[in-house]
């Protein structure tokens, strides 16, 4: 009986201490983020074939990486297009975030037949365990569009929607 009572007295403080802390942030395994660039402004009469864009990436978030540490374009970006056979992803450049500045992910995408108003660019990112980004951490830094002749197209208003899963 005495041994049982000693065990309870030892285990009770441990149990109580393990419950301490911020209950709103539960340690979880790695999670995914899906950021979607809607190209609804890309109407058919503009013949948009190329897009270059950049978004901010907070600390603890990164695109899927290759063995050499560079972003893996095929795992990072998916172009949903009505002309999937005519699309290429010529470039993805990733600059990691630091303690003083957010990171950046720059993307170049081409749909030779032209983007349709319903097309979108989906960016897949990984969230490290113990990291808790919010939607406002992801901002569209730049967006440029080019027509099928390579001329810059202005006056577009893209939107960035971020979903943290």
Neighbours of 63 (CB within 10 A): 23
- Checking if the pLDDT of 138 tops 70, the result is yes
- Checking if the pLDDT of 101 tops 70, the result is yes
Domain ranges of the chain: 29-164
17-43 pLDDT tens trace = 333 333 334 444 567 778 777 655 555
Which CATH class name applies to 29-164? mainly beta
Is 1 or 99 the better-scoring residue by pLDDT? 99
Phi, psi of 91 (to 5 degrees): -160, 140
pTM for the whole thing? Answer: 0.74
Mean pLDDT of the residues in the chain: 76
């Amino acid at each position: 009986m005495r041994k049982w009572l000693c065990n309870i007295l030892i285990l009770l403080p441990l149990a109580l201490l393990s419950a301490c802390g911020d209950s709103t942030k539960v340690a979880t395994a790695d999670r995914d983020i899906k950021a979607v660039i809607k190209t609804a402004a890309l109407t058919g009469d503009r013949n948009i074939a190329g897009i270059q864009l950049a978004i901010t990436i907070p600390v603890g978030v990164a695109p899927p990486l290759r063995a050499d540490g560079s972003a893996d374009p095929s795992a990072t970006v998916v172009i949903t297009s009505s002309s999937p056979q005519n699309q290429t992803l010529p470039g993805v450049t990733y600059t990691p975030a630091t303690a003083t500045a957010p990171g950046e992910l720059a993307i170049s995408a081409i749909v030779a037949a032209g983007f349709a108003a319903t097309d979108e660019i989906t960016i897949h990112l990984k969230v490290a365990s113990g990291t808790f980004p919010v939607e406002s951490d992801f901002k569209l830094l730049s967006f440029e569009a080019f027509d099928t002749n390579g001329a810059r197209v202005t006056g577009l208003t893209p939107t960035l929607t971020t979903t943290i899963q």
